[in-house]
Chain A
Amino acid sequence: MNLEVLVFYLFASITVAAAVMVISARNPVHSVLFLILAFFNAAGLFLLCGAEFLAMILVIVYVGAVAVLFLFVVMMLDINFAELRQGFLQYLPIGGLIGVILLVELALVLGSWTILPSAGGVAAAQTPAIGDITNTDALGRILYTHYLLPFQLAGMILLVAMVGAIVLTLRARPGVRRQSISAQNARTKELAAELKKVSSGQGV
Chain B
Amino acid sequence: MVDASPMTGTEMMVELALIVAKILAIVVPLLIAVAYATLLDRKVWAMMQLRRGPNVVGIFGLLQPFADGLKLLTKETIIPAGANKGVFLLAPVLTFTLAMIAWAVIPFGDGLVLADINVGVLYLFAISSLGVYGIIMGGWASNSRYPFLGGLRSAAQMVSYEVSIGFVIITVLLCVGSLNLNDVVKAQEHVWFAIPLFPMFVVFFISALAETNRPPFDLPEAESELVAGYQIEYSSMSFALFMLGEYANMILMSAMTAILFLGGWQPISIFGLLDWIPGPIWFLGKIFAVLFVMCWVKATVPRYRYDQLMRLGWKVFLPLSLFWVVLTAGVLVGFGWLPVKG
A binding-site residues for B, Cβ under 8 Å: 2-4, 27, 29-30, 33, 36, 47-50, 52-53, 56-57, 59-60, 63-65, 68-69, 71-72, 75-76, 132-137, 179, 181
Interface residues of B (CB under 8 A from A): 1-2, 6, 12, 84, 87, 117-119, 122-123, 125-126, 129-130, 132-133, 136-137, 140, 148, 151-152, 155-156, 158-159, 162, 179, 307, 311, 341-342
Residue on A with the closest CB to B179?
A136
Q: A72 vs B136: C-alpha distance in the bound complex, in angstroms?
A: 8
Instruction: List chain B residues, Cβ under 8 A from A33.
Output: 87, 137
- How long is the Cα–Cα vector from A179 to B308 in the complex, in angstroms? 11
Q: Is the interface of A mostly helix, strand, loop or mixed?
A: helix
Specify which chain A residues have a CB less than 8 angstroms from the CB of B155 in the assembled complex.
Answer: 68, 71-72
| CB-based nearest B residue for A64 | B129
Chain A residues near B1 (CB-CB < 8 A): 4, 47-50
Q: Collect the chain A residues with CB atoms within 8 Å of residue B159's CB.
A: 65, 68-69
A72 interface neighbour in B118, B125, B129, B152, Cβ under 8 Å? B152
B87 touches A63 (CB 8 A): no
Closest CB pairs A-B (n = 7):
A64-B129, A56-B122, A59-B126, A50-B1, A60-B126, A134-B118, A52-B119
Residues of B within 8 A of A59 (CB): 126, 129-130
Give every chain B residue within 8 A of A50 (Cβ-Cβ): 1-2
Q: List 16 A-B contacts (CB under 8 A).
A: A30-B87, A47-B1, A50-B2, A52-B119, A56-B122, A56-B126, A65-B159, A68-B133, A68-B155, A68-B159, A69-B159, A75-B140, A75-B152, A76-B152, A137-B341, A137-B342
Residues in A with CB closer than 8 Å to B125 are 56, 60
A64-B130 contact given A53-B119, A133-B342, CB 8 Å threshold:
yes
Beta-carbon contact of A63 and B117 below 8 Å: no
Contacts of A179 in B (CB 8 A): 307
User: Smallest distance from the beta carbon of B148 to chain A beta carbons, Å?
Assistant: 8
Please, which residues of chain A bring their CB within 8 A of the CB of B122? 53, 56-57, 60
What's the Cα separation between A134 and B177 when bound, in Å? 12
Cα A57 to Cα B121 with chains together (Å): 11
Query: Are A64 and B126 neighbours in the complex by a CB distance under 8 Å?
Result: yes
Q: Which residues of chain A are within 8 angstroms of B179 by Cβ–Cβ distance? A: 53, 134, 136
For A76, the chain B residues whose CB sits under 8 A away are 152
B118 and A136 contacting across the interface, CB-CB below 8 Å = yes
Give every chain A residue within 8 A of B148 (Cβ-Cβ).
Answer: 75
Given A136-B179, A181-B311, residue A71 in contact with residue B117 (CB < 8 A): no
Closest B residue, CB atoms, query A50: B1
Q: Chain A residues near B133 (CB, 8 Å)?
A: 36, 68, 71
Question: What is the CB-to-nearest-CB distance from B228 to chain A, in angstroms, rounded to a whole number?
Answer: 19
Within the complex, the shortest CB–CB distance from B177 to chain A, in Å, comes to 10
**In the bound complex, CA of A27 to CA of B86 (Å):** 13
> Please, which residues of chain B bring their CB within 8 A of the CB of A64?
126, 129-130, 132, 162
Residue in contact with B119 in the complex, picked from A71, A72, A133, A136, CB distance below 8 Å? A136
Closest to B341 in A: A137
Check if A29 sits within 8 Å of B126, measured CB to CB.
Answer: no
Question: In whole angstroms, what is the CA distance A109 to B37 when docked?
Answer: 55
Determine how close the nearest CB of chain B comes to the CB of A81; give it in whole angstroms. Answer: 13
Report the bound CA distance from A64 to B129 in whole Å. 5
Contacts of A49 in B (CB 8 A): 1
